[in-house]
Chains A and B, each alone.
Chain A
């Protein structure tokens, strides 16, 4: 329970950093998805505890929704859908394969973005103007976001492996 609360506090601060600090380091308006990276990294390092990852995805998504201007619930549900897709991927593919992380993160982020567009439309009663952010929801925007987020994911995984005791995280 304490570890879970610790993760929630981290996701709260990551959400804040993502939308304030990284607003100065955006690439054409796109900032790295730190909270998404946290959920992915937690799942990747602790795949035996899928339930906890789902709860983490729920609460982390809730925090993202609180700070977002999109309809409430878009990020909560998108993150849940992405974690469920990730668990399906995990059960069908070999995690030790070096291509697993980049490919699974690509799919994870892809599902996250597509479901966020669909859910924005759903929650805004199919008001098309609610997704009028051309670059943010474009293919090029997706690739930029993937590379940007993946770099941070890679750095964070190195830090966790080197400095953080796995016991704290797991």
Chain B
């Protein structure tokens, strides 16, 4: 019994010392020194595992849907004819799209000062991402992270020496203002609304006025009223709209444009001072 008591005391003391050490590490933001070498070593393995995960999920998805294949075939046959007629129309739209692209031309470099970085490690469960640039490269907290196509990914929450932690816009902690693309681009009745990350690759607009029309597939962009992010960055597409007679607002669920299999190279906007 005495032996047990002394063993327990030994462990308890060790545990308290460990808690104090870890608390001090967190207080001094020293965790980056421990984390960074692991990210660099693990990054190639992580990429392989992400690819394997993606392929496996596609394969298993098709296995589970095996029963639906016969129905799918019939559906595809009828859709095939429909698609043929649409191809002709698509060709026209393609030409139109190319003209529009040339006219709009993203010209990201002219608008923003960009810093190229690499996605090192994803934590989809906690909606965070670690990137390869840190305070040594001039990264500061709150810098927005985008893709080459002007798609908003998130913002830097911790800048370590050689890497940074980014909070994705799907994180429940992320709050920013958005506008529908049609209105943001010079439409009438300009307005903006608060967007909040809903986790699980979703963004939720809880306060979307009932009198404002919104439908599935509508595109939303940042509006920059609260200066969280620069204006007109692509956020996502409407997945679902929930209306309720009791609630004076409609709830809009948005699927962000960025995906798990996003390009590994991203851009930090270094000349935007967010609040």
Contacts and interface: CB of A to CB of B under 8 A. Distances in A.
Q: Do A and B come from one complex?
A: yes
B22 A123 contact: yes
B26 A25 contact: no
Interface stretch (B51-59, B87-95, B98-106, B216-224): B51-59
Given A25-B53, A73-B26, A123-B23, A84 B125 contact: no
Contacts of A133: 125-126, 172, 199
27 contacts: A16-B49, A17-B49, A21-B49, A21-B52, A21-B53, A21-B56, A23-B53, A23-B124, A23-B125, A23-B260, A24-B54, A25-B57, A29-B125, A31-B125, A69-B165, A72-B34, A73-B18, A73-B19, A73-B25, A77-B18, A122-B23, A123-B22, A124-B26, A133-B172, A133-B199, A134-B172, A135-B200
Interface residues of A, number: 38
Given A28-B200, A67-B123, A69-B165, A20 B172 contact: no
B227 interface: no
**Interface of chain B, helix or strand or loop or mixed?**
helix
A26 interface: yes
Contact of B199 (A77, A124, A135): A135
B26 A71 contact: yes
Interface residues of B, number: 36
B69 interface: no
B59 to A, nearest CB: 11
A129 B157 CA distance: 13
Interface of B: 11, 15, 18-19, 22-23, 25-26, 30-31, 34-35, 38, 42, 45-46, 49-50, 52-54, 56-57, 121-126, 128, 165, 172-173, 199-200, 260
Contact of B173 (A29, A70, A132): A132
A30 B125 contact: yes
Given A16-B46, A21-B49, A84-B11, A69 B56 contact: no
A136 B54 CA distance: 22
Q: Which 4 A-B pairs have the closest CB atoms?
A: A73-B22, A72-B31, A69-B128, A24-B57
A158 B163 CA distance: 41
Nearest to B261: A24
A24 B56 contact: yes
A56 to B, nearest CB: 15
A43 to B, nearest CB: 15
Nearest to A80: B15
A134 B199 contact: yes
A106 interface: no
Nearest to A91: B4
A134 B38 CA distance: 29
Contacts of A30: 125
Contacts of A73: 18-19, 22-23, 25-26
Of A20, A54, A84, which is in contact with the most chain B CB atoms at under 10 Å from its CB? Answer: A20
B11 to A, nearest CB: 7
Given A21-B49, A24-B53, A77-B19, 5 more contacts: A20-B46, A23-B122, A25-B56, A31-B125, A76-B18
Contacts of A46: none
